[in-house]
Amino acid sequence: MNATTAAPNRAGRNWRGLDSDTALIYGVLSLVALVSWGLILANGGQINVANTLVRSVALGMVAVGQTLVILGGSLDLSVAYQVSVTAVMASYVMQGNPDRMILGVVVVTTIGLAIGLANGLIITVLGVNPFIATLGMALVLRGVLNSSFDNFAGAVPEQFQVLGYGAIGPVPLAVLLFAAVVAIAWILLRATRFGHHLYAIGGSEETARLSGVRSGRVVIGAHMLCSLTCVMTGLFIVSRLRAGAPWVGPDGNYDLESIAAVVLGGTALIGGRGGVLGTVAGVLILALLDNLFNQLEVNTFLKDVLRGVIIITAVAVYALRTRRGRA
């Protein structure tokens, strides 16, 4: 865990709070896991860790991307529709034909990068607040999707479904993919100049710029990476569903839930503090809570209340700890 702390320090951030925050969140994660698995065992059920992990993959990958943009002081509210765009276009291009798999992946990756680039340019070059820029982008994507497709479009070939259902030994392929995305994001943040600059910009864009960081490029890069994670999630979902439809992203609530997972994982919404490991824990906690709620048969509407309270409480605890840490 030592290496994790080096990078933000170099970027001039106070990193002590972060490290213990990460420890705290993993403590909470273990507690939630123990309680929910204990209850399942008590009810005579089986614990299916693989399935819990697979449940977290879709939200998890988006949340990793969201972590990057949030660390840079930005935000992406268009992720849900980006997921839809990928899912729809992938099945539309592939049309069930195995020979078109690579073409499909190339097309959706290109579109994804273009959307990320557009988000980044609107925010940095046009100077539009990220909240409005990506909200507007979400509306645009929704409009284009719904006017072009009104149902499941095409299909992905059976071979492609390996991504969603395949496993190597006991480990689902999707979980490995998720782990790879997390690892790459972690390395990017900790061991590259891009990562250091991102923390610096999120901490204070002005200071970063004065110390020679080309903040525009870094923010645009973060948005393109975030869009890439949406592409991965879209591909994963389409492989699970066999075909993509315009509603798969918004139905999964990936926009607000990814932000919730990020802050639950201890990343500050104003940027500059946090990291992907916390986000992973945040995502897993949300999944385990779902599991726990299902076990306890918590009323559906009460679940929302509990989620709201948990998110606010978690962030309040981080805020309190940060203040204590400074004092």
Find the binding residues for other proteins in span 80-109 (CB under 8 A). none
* CB of residue 301 to other proteins, shortest distance in Å: 4
d(CA 184, CA 189): 9
Decide whether 24 or 241 has the Cβ nearer to other proteins: 241
Stretch that binds other proteins, among 1-9, 28-36, 239-247, 274-282 (CB under 8 A): 239-247
State the sign of the Cα–Cα–Cα–Cα dihedral 308, 309, 310, 316: positive
248, 284, 288, 289: which one binds other proteins (CB under 8 A): 248
Interface with other proteins in residues 264-283 (CB under 8 A): 268-270
Q: Which of 78, 80, 18 is nearest to 265 (CA)?
A: 18
Closer Cβ to other proteins, 75 or 222, answer by number: 75
Q: Does position 285 bind other proteins by CB under 8 A?
A: no
Q: What is the DSSP letter of 247?
A: T
Phi, psi (5° rounding) for residue 188? Answer: -55, -45
Stretch that binds other proteins, among 17-25, 49-57, 106-114, 199-207 (CB under 8 A): 49-57
Among 58, 88, 189, 200, binds other proteins (CB under 8 A): 58
Position 55 contacts other proteins (CB under 8 A): yes
The nearest distance, CB 118 to other proteins, in angstroms, is 10
Are the CB atoms for 285 and 30 separated by under 8 Å? no
**What's at 299, amino acid-wise?**
N
Binding other proteins (rule: CB under 8 A), the pick from 27, 45, 166, 325 is 45
When asked if residue 251 is in the footprint of other proteins (CB under 8 A), the reply is yes
Of 211, 230, 212, 233, residue with least CA distance to 222: 230
Q: How far is the CB of 240 from other proteins (least distance, A)?
A: 6
∠ at Cα 44 (42, 49), nearest 5°? 90
Nearer to other proteins, 142 or 196 (CB): 142
Cβ proximity to other proteins, 135 vs 184, nearer residue: 135
Binding mask 159-188 for other proteins (x = CB under 8 A): --x---x-----------------------
Residues in CB range of 140: below 8 A, 6 or more apart? none
Does 79 engage in binding with other proteins (CB under 8 A)? no
Give the interface size with other proteins as a residue count (CB under 8 A).
Answer: 77
Rounded CA-CA distance 242/156 in Å is 5
Instruction: Tell me which stretch binds other proteins (CB under 8 A): 9-17, 188-196, 219-227, 298-306.
Output: 298-306
Q: What is the per-residue DSSP string for 174-239?
A: HHHHHHHHHHHHHHHHHHSHHHHHHHHHHH-HHHHHHTT--HHHHHHHHHHHHHHHHHHHHHHHHH
Q: Could you say whether residue 311 binds other proteins (CB under 8 A)?
A: yes
Strand, coil or helix: what is 44?
coil
The rounded distance, in Å, linking the Cα atoms of 120 and 201 is 14
Chain positions 111 to 150 lying near other proteins, rule: CB under 8 A, are 121-122, 125-129, 131-133, 135-140, 142-147, 149-150
